Chains A and B, each alone.
Chain A
Amino acid sequence: AQSVAQPEDQVNVAEGNPLTVKCTYSVSGNPYLFWYVQYPNRGLQFLLKYITGDNLVKGSYGFEAEFNKSQTSFHLKKPSALVSDSALYFCAVRERNAGNMLTFGGGTRLMVKP
């Protein structure tokens, strides 16, 4: 079975500072990994994904994530946070050759203060 853990319910960061939202996963085989963002009263929007290749993945709005196989992590990062980045962030995993079903983490609320 596949699972995702987002250990922090909320992350607070000052505008202009770097941010990290943590994600660890568990799958039997090799993973596909994703980050989604949800703004208030909206559906989830795709941010970035790791499928294969370079462990550092760059996505929308200046976000990036690093796949670390040994630590089974896929933390989301941004060098300089914006107030407009404040939202709910979801990490998701899908095991290769295991259908098209994503398993989502519980979400982390990012609060960026001016």
Chain B
Amino acid sequence: DAGVIQSPRHEVTEMGQEVTLRCKPISGHDYLFWYRQTMMRGLELLIYFNNNVPIDDSGMPEDRFSAKMPNASFSTLKIQPSEPRDSAVYFCASGEDGNYGYTFGSGTRLTVV
């Protein structure tokens, strides 16, 4: 199994541009999570899905952030427009019902200049 796959690994963009981060969860996992990691705030849960349905998006910072999961093998996190304070490492993780932990991807390091 290739694990949780995120793309791109690094993204540098200018303020105001749209950014799309992508995630392919482990096949068979029915939970998908998006986290953001910064030095100041640590690891924050942004949103999670169960069976492709968003369950809790209370961690999404504001309307500029949106996440979709059109099918069981793909999810996107979009920021539009991006701002310098969005600079962080964004992690995707997946898990399966009845199991108790998650598998994390390697993350996308986003820099907004």
Contacts and interface: CB of A to CB of B under 8 A. Distances in A.
Interface of A: 32, 34, 36, 41-46, 49, 51, 90, 94, 99-104, 106-107
Nearest to A46: B101
Contacts of B1: none
Contact of B43 (A42, A45, A51, A107): A107
A46 to B, nearest CB: 5
Interface residues of B, number: 23
Given A43-B106, A100-B31, A100-B95, A32 B100 contact: yes
B55 interface: yes
Contacts of B33: 101
Contacts of A43: 4, 91, 93, 104-107
Interface string B42-86: 110100101000011000000000000000000000000000000
